[in-house]
Amino acid sequence: MAVRQLQRRATKVPEIRRGDTVVVLTGKDAGKRGTVERIVRNQQGAKKTQSKYGSSWSTMSPAASTAVVVEGLNIAKRHTKPRQSSNTTDRTPKITQGGILDLAQPLAIGKVMLVCTHCDKPTRIAHKTLDNGRRVRVCRHCGEQVEVRS
């Protein structure tokens, strides 16, 4: 058996990060822009599939199971009832107020596209290695480095 020499690979740069401006491609919010609040990843990397003769587990790519929560988009209403908190005193019981909450739900990462900070166009991402060895995201339209707005 031949011994393979392991070459050091550059670390992967995520396509979309928290603080990026994205445009939604499909769904009820198609065409709207928003800022990414957080990224939701499926740590398990497997999903249950249904077939004609039963179900089974299949592996999937990490990008397929990743979703993003975009501020102000893909809003769902959550109805909550008032509940009594556990840390109460005899004189003043603490009750959380009920009502209807607007919550931003996760969108699949394939349904959003990054907006370049320089040319202000939705773009795919290229990766470029700088002279110091750092990898950065680059816009395919203008060639400029994409910065994260925080």
pLDDT category of residue 51 using cuts at 50, 70 and 90? confident
**Fold of the domain spanning 13-44+60-83+100-150:** SH3 type barrels. (2.30.30)
Predicted local distance difference test score (pLDDT) of residue 4: 62
Q: Is the pLDDT of residue 10 over 60?
A: no
pLDDT tens track for 82-135: 887 766 566 666 777 889 999 999 998 889 999 999 999 999 999 999 899 888
- Please state whether beta strands 54-59 and 46-51 pair in parallel, antiparallel, or not at all (unpaired): antiparallel
CA distances from 103 to 29, 94, 132 (A): 15, 24, 42
Distance from C-alpha of 19 to C-alpha of 149, rounded to nearest angstrom: 5
Q: Which two tokens stand for residue 129?
A: 């290695």
Predicted local distance difference test score (pLDDT) of residue 33: 96
Apex 109 CA angle, 130 and 41, nearest 5: 90
